[in-house]
A and B are shown apart, each in its own frame.
Chain A
C-alpha cells in the first residue's frame, strides 16, 4: 500500500501542476467536496463482508434480493390521478395496457387534507393535483374493472391514510377480494408532513397512534400491505440535500419503529411491512451512494439497536421517484433526459419500484403523451441498456464506495443531533428540520443564481423568446361542480342513521385506546364521507398548527 500511496502522491503533484485550479468547485449537489480521483487508498481496511456483503444478505449494501433484477425488474409505477374517479380509472386502464405494472394514486388536495369536495376550503382545488375521493362510492368507481387481487396499488395519502386505506379494503370486499390478498402501500408517513410536505391534519401524538393502529391491523388482516412508506421524497423536494434526505428519512423510520415497540408490538411483527420512498435527483453518483448507504444503515440499526430477528425486518425496500424539483419549465423536452438519468441512478441504486416524472409536470399534470414517454423511459432502461444484467454493477468502485461511506457518516452525525434534540417529534417542534431544509434550499438557489450550478435552459443555454409548445392538460372547472353534486346526492340517498351511529362509535373509540381501524372501516362501509370521518376525529384529536420558519 505504501507504494501505491507514493505513486498516488506523485500523480497528484503532476495533476496539480497541469491545472492548479482544478481542485476548486467540484462538489455534489449536496455540497460534498469530491476528489479528482479515487483509488484503492480510499478503501483501505475495507472489510467486504462487514461493509458490503452479498446481495440478499446482511447488510444489504448491494441489494435486498439474491437475484435482484435478474429475478424480476422493478415495478413500473407511475403516479397518477386527476379530475374524478371516472377519468382517473380510464388513465389507469391506459397505463396498465401500456405495460405499467403497479398503480399509484395521486389524490387531490382536499382529499389529502381530509375535506370533502363540497367543503368551502376545497374551492378551486377539486380534482386539480390528483383525483377527488370523497367516499367508498368514489373508490369503487376508481377501481372499476381493475381486479384488486391482481394489481398492487400505492396510495400517496398521509393525514387521512387510515380512511382511504379502509375505503380500498371495503372496495376490495365489494369485488369479493379478501383483505389478505391485497398488496400495495399507503404512504402514511406523517412525520415527513410536519418536516417537509406540510399536509398534516392532527397533532403528532394522535397521528402516531393512528399509524401504530394501522401497523397492528395490517399485520393481522392485510399481511401483504406496506403499512407505511417512509418518505424522503418530499423532504428532498422541499430543498433538502441528499444527506439530509437520507438522514431525516431514516430518523423518521426509527421513530416509527420505536412507536410500534412502545405500542406493545413485536418489532418483527410490523417491521417487515415498513417500506421507503426516495427521491432520485440529478447528481448521479451521490444518488446511487445514498441508496446503498440507506440499506446498510437501516439493516444495522434494525438488527443491532432494535433487536429485530427476522431478516425481512432488516430489509430497506424502497420506491423511487425522479426529482420533480429538478425539472425545468424552460425547454421542457430536456426533462425527458433529466428523468432518464435520474431513473438510471435509481436502478443502479437497487430500487424496487420506480416512478418517472413526465416532461410537462413543471407546467401542469401530465398529458397522456408525456406520461407514456416517462413510462417508456423505464422500459428502455430495463430492456435495452443492459444495466440489469449484473447486480450492483458499481459496487467496488473506489468512488462509489467512498461516497457511500461518506453518506453514512454524515447521516450518523444527523442522527446524533436529532437525539440530542430529544427525538424526531421534539426536533419537529423546535423547527430543526424545517430550518435545515430552508437553509439548504436557499443555499442551492444562490448557487444557481451565481452560476456555481448550471441548469441547462435556466441560467445557461437559455433560449430567448422561447415559446413553449408542448400540450398542457387542463382540468375542466365543471369537474368540481360534478364532484360536489355527487357527494351531496350521496348524503341524501345513504342510510344516514347508520352513518351517525358509525361516526359516534368512532369518536368513542378515539377517546379510548382501542384500535381505530375497525371503526373507520365500519364508517366507510356505510358510506360516511372522508370529511365526516376526519371531522369526527378532529373533534377528539384537534388540529396541528405550524410555526412557519423561512
Chain B
C-alpha cells in the first residue's frame, strides 16, 4: 500500500513574498497530498533538515528574490550529501528562462514553474513525476 505524496513547500532566503507558496501549498493539499510548509526565511540547511525529518518525497521551493542560482544548487547538494538525493527538488517563482534552463539541465531542479502557471499543471506534474515512498 502506498501512502500519500508528501510535499515540503519551502521559502528560502530573506524574501517574504509567500503568496505563491501558500496558494500552491493549499492546492496540493486539496489535491490529496500531505503538505508541510516551512514558513519564511529558511536557510538551505533548514530546508534540507526539514525535508529529511518529515520524510518527504518532493521539496517545492518558492523563490522570488533572484537568489535562485545560489539556493537550488545548494539544496540539491545538501540533500545528496545527507543521502537524501532521491527527494525530488522542484520550485517556482521569478526565474528568467535562461536560468530556468540551466538549473534544470544541471539537475539542480527537476521542474520550475514561473508566474501564470495553472495550479492544475503543477498538481499534474507532481502526480506524474513523484512516486510516494512505500510503507
* Interface residue ranges, A against B (CB under 8 Å): 109-110, 112-113, 115, 121-125, 128-129, 193, 197-199, 237-239, 325, 328-330, 362-365, 438, 441-442, 445, 449, 455, 457-459, 468, 472, 475, 477, 546-548, 550
Contacts and interface: CB of A to CB of B under 8 A. Distances in A.
B14 A113 contact: yes
7 contacts: A129-B65, A442-B22, A449-B120, A457-B116, A459-B118, A546-B39, A548-B39
Given A442-B26, A548-B18, 4 more contacts: A109-B14, A325-B19, A364-B66, A546-B40
A364 B63 CA distance: 12
Interface string B95-135: 01100000000000000001110111000000000000000
Contact of B115 (A329, A475, A477, A550): A329
A304 to B, nearest CB: 35
Contacts of A468: 97
Interface in B32-82: 37-41, 43, 65-67, 69-71
A197 to B, nearest CB: 5
Interface in B1-43: 9, 13-19, 21-23, 25-27, 37-41, 43
B135 to A, nearest CB: 27
A128 B67 contact: yes
A124 B37 CA distance: 22
Interface of B: 9, 13-19, 21-23, 25-27, 37-41, 43, 65-67, 69-71, 94, 96-97, 114-116, 118-120
B114 A329 contact: yes
* Chain A interface helix/strand/loop/mixed: loop
A125 B67 contact: yes
A392 to B, nearest CB: 33
Contacts, number: 99
A523 B118 CA distance: 50
B65 A128 contact: yes
Contacts of B115: 328-329, 362
Nearest to A360: B96
Contacts of B40: 198, 546, 548
Contact of B66 (A110, A129, A329, A459): A129
Contact of B17 (A128, A237, A472): A237
Contacts of B39: 546-548
A123 to B, nearest CB: 6
A324 B111 CA distance: 25
Interface SS majority for chain B: loop
A362 B94 contact: yes
A433 to B, nearest CB: 13
Nearest to A437: B19
Contacts of A438: 22, 26
A550 B66 contact: no
- 8 closest Cβ pairs, A-B complex: A198-B16, A124-B70, A128-B66, A548-B39, A124-B67, A109-B14, A550-B22, A329-B115
Given A121-B43, A129-B66, A468-B97, A112 B26 contact: no
A323 to B, nearest CB: 12
A242 to B, nearest CB: 16
Given A129-B65, A364-B96, A441 B37 contact: no
A124 B19 contact: no
A441 B15 contact: no
Contacts of B23: 239, 441-442, 445
A110 B67 CA distance: 12
B81 to A, nearest CB: 18
Given A364-B66, A546-B39, A441 B118 contact: no
A128 B119 CA distance: 27
Contact of A197 (B16, B21, B71, B94): B16
B26 A125 contact: no
Contacts of A193: 16
B66 A125 contact: yes
Contact of B15 (A109, A325, A328): A109
A329 B116 contact: yes
A530 to B, nearest CB: 13
Contact of B70 (A123, A129, A363): A123
A541 B120 CA distance: 44
